[in-house]
Chain A
Amino acid sequence: MSRKPKDHTHSPWGRPASFPTSSKTINPSSRPVAGRPLRILFADDQDDIRTLTAYQLKRSGHTVVTAKDGKKALKMFRSASFDVVLLDQEMPGMTGSEVARAIRKDEGGKKTRVFLVASTGNTSLEDARSLKLAGFDDVLGKPYRLEDLNLILSSSPAAKPASRSASLPSPAAGATFAELVTRVGGDEKLLKRMIHTFLRDTPKRVTGIALAIRRRDSESLASLAHALKGSVSIFGAESARKHSQDLQELGRSGDLAAAQEILISLKEDIAKLQANLRGYANQTPARPKSDHAKRQRPPRNRGKRRR
C-alpha cells in the first residue's frame, strides 16, 4: 500500500485522521523510533478490521487480544491486564462508551488507569466531548491508517520508557510476575498455588530425569522431560523449555548420548526459574509498579451461567 506524507488533519479518505481536540497525540515528534511492546485489548465487531488491525499490531511487536463485541471486551479487560484498550464505538450489545464507563468504574480512584482509545467515524467536537466524558483518553477517526494508530499508542503512558522497564521479560528466568498474572486471568492466588505446585514437583522430576538417563530408560526420560516442558513453558522459561524438549526428543529417539550434557544446562535453567518463582510467591498484593495487573473484580454471579 502506498504511504502518503502524514497530514495532521485529514486521512487519505478526506476524513479527520484523529480527534480534533487531542493535538498532543498527533504531533509527529512524539512518535518513537521503535515503540515499546504493549498489551493491547482491541474490540471491533467487524471481522476484517479486527483481523487486519490485530495482524498489523502483532507485526509491530505488541501483544493483542481481540473481542468482537463490547461485553466480551469488558470481560477480557476484567480477566487480564492491558496497557491500552482500543474500542470501536458502534458494537452490538454494549457500545464502546458503555464499556469505557464500566472500565473507569472498575478502576475507581486508582492512580494507574488503562489508556482508553475510541475508534469512531463520528469525530465532531461534540462527539469528542461525549467520548472524553465516557472516560476515553483519545479518539481515533475511522477509517484509520496504521500510522494514526501508532501515534496514539506511542502517547500512552505504558509506551514511555520508565513505566515498562519493571515488567520486561527476562528470557533466562521466565516471564515477569505481571505477565504471569495476566496469563492466569488476573488471579494472583491461583498463580501462587501453581508456583507452589511447581516448586514441589520439579525436584522430583529433575531427579527422575537424571535417573532415567543413568539407567538408559528412554521411555521414562521422554515422558518426564515432556511433563517438565509443560510446566516450565507456563512460566515462560524459554531456555528450560528448549532443553526439556531436547531431552524429550532424545528419549523418543532412544539415543541418549548427549543427554547428560543437556541435563546440566537444564538444571541451571531450573535453578534460576525456581529462584525467580520463589520471589514471586512471596510478593505482597500491593505492587505499585504493576498496579493495573491486579484488578478489582466485581463479584461474580456463580449461579447464573451464560451458554
Chain B
Amino acid sequence: MPHILVAEDDATTREMIRGILTKEGYDVSVAADGMSALRILKKKNFDLVLLDIWMPKMSGLGLIGTLHGEQHIPKIIVMTSDKTSDTVLNSLRGQVYQFLPKPVDANTLISTVENALSEDPSVPPIEVLSANKHWVELLVPCERSVVSRVQSFLSRLETDLPADVMEKVGYAFRELLNNAIEWGGHLDPNLKVRISYIRTRKLLMYRLDDPGPGFKMEDLKHAAVSNPVDDPMAHMTIREQKGLRPGGLGLMLTQQLVDELVYNEARNEVVLIKYL
C-alpha cells in the first residue's frame, strides 16, 4: 500500500485530502506544518508527499530545500493557490513532480496521485536548464504523463493573462508536446524533448525540439491540417481507409488558436507564438 504524507496547515483541507485518499485505499499520514512534516519524513519512507507551500514554522519550499541530498526523497506534489512565479520556478528547481492548484477536488486529486504513483520508476526526471520567469527551459523524457506535469508548472506562469488566452495557448502547447513525445520520441522515455518557454512584454513563445527526424506535410493526409480548401473533411475518408479512428483535428485547431506556428525545415522543431 503506497504511503502518502499530506503536509497542510489548514485543518479543513487536510481533513478533506486525508478522507479522500484513505477511502481510495492509501496509507495517509498528516502534518500541520513544515517542521512536523520533516520529522515524519525522517522516521518513515513515503512514496508521495502532498505539500502546501505557505505553512508555519517551515514553508513547503523550505522543506524541499532541507530534503535535498537525502537518500530517499519521495515524489512531491505541490498544492497551492499561490500564483507567484518564484514558487513555480523554485518548485521546478526543487524537482517537484507536479503542481496542483487549490482548491482541490476529489477527481483531480485522485487522478493526479494515481498518475504519480503509477509512473515507471525508470523514467528519468525533468531536467531544468533555465528557470527564470522570462525564460524557462526544460529537457523532458518522452513519456505521456510529462505533458500534464509540465503544463501544471508553465500554466502557473501565465495566470496574469486572460482565461481564454491561457486556455488557447494551453491547448496548443499540449497538442504540440503530445506530437513531439509520440511522433518525435516514440514514447521512449530515454529520448528527450527540449521545451523553451519565453515570455516578453509583448509575446508568449514556446519552442519544442523533438528527438525525431521530422516529418513531411504530405505524410499527414490523415490530419485535418492537410485538407484541400474545397474539401474540409477529406482527412476523415483517409482515416477510414487507413483504419484510423475519427480525429486528426489537433494540428488544425492549434493553428487557429495561436498567432504564429512555425516549423523548421525538417519539422522536428516548432515555435508557437501568442502576441499579448
A233 partner, pick from B103, B106, B232, beta carbons under 8 A: B103
Asked whether, in the complex, the Cβ of B107 is within 8 Å of the Cβ of A65, the reply is: yes
- Quick one: which of B101-119 are within 8 Å of A by CB? 102-103, 105-107, 110-111, 117-118
- How many residues on A have C-beta within 8 angstroms of the other chain's C-beta atoms? 45
Known contacts A13-B236, A49-B246, A223-B56; is-contact A80 B13 (Cβ 8 Å): no
Q: How far is the CB of B37 from chain A (nearest CB, A)?
A: 16
CA distance A76 to B19 in the complex (A): 16
Any B CB within 8 A of the CB of A1: yes
Asked whether, in the complex, the Cβ of B20 is within 8 Å of the Cβ of A184, the reply is: yes
Asked whether, in the complex, the Cβ of B102 is within 8 Å of the Cβ of A80, the reply is: no
CA distance A142 to B239 in the complex (A): 13
B105 contact set on A, CB distance < 8 A? 182-184
- How many residues on B have C-beta within 8 angstroms of the other chain's C-beta atoms? 43
Any B CB within 8 A of the CB of A190: yes
CA distance A225 to B107 in the complex (A): 27
Any B CB within 8 A of the CB of A32: no
Q: How far is the CB of B167 from chain A (nearest CB, A)?
A: 8
B11 contact set on A, CB distance < 8 A? 197, 201, 231
Q: How far is the CB of B40 from chain A (nearest CB, A)?
A: 20
Known contacts A2-B232, A305-B1; is-contact A142 B246 (Cβ 8 Å): yes
Q: How far is the CB of B28 from chain A (nearest CB, A)?
A: 13
B236 contact set on A, CB distance < 8 A? 13, 143
Any B CB within 8 A of the CB of A208: no
Known contacts A183-B105, A234-B13, A305-B25; is-contact A49 B247 (Cβ 8 Å): yes
Asked whether, in the complex, the Cβ of A47 is within 8 Å of the Cβ of B178, the reply is: yes
B8 contact set on A, CB distance < 8 A? 230
Q: How far is the CB of A183 from chain B (nearest CB, A)?
A: 5
Task: In the complex, identify which listed stretch (B86-94, B248-256, B259-267) lies at the interface while the others stay far away.
Answer: B248-256
Asked whether, in the complex, the Cβ of A230 is within 8 Å of the Cβ of B25, the reply is: no
B118 partner, pick from A49, A184, A187, A307, beta carbons under 8 A: A307
A121 contact set on B, CB distance < 8 A? 245-246
Can you spell out 24 A-B residue pairs with CB atoms less than 8 angstroms apart?
A: A2-B232, A46-B245, A46-B246, A48-B248, A49-B246, A49-B247, A65-B107, A79-B110, A182-B105, A182-B106, A185-B107, A186-B106, A190-B19, A190-B20, A194-B12, A197-B11, A227-B10, A227-B54, A230-B10, A230-B103, A231-B10, A231-B12, A234-B12, A307-B2
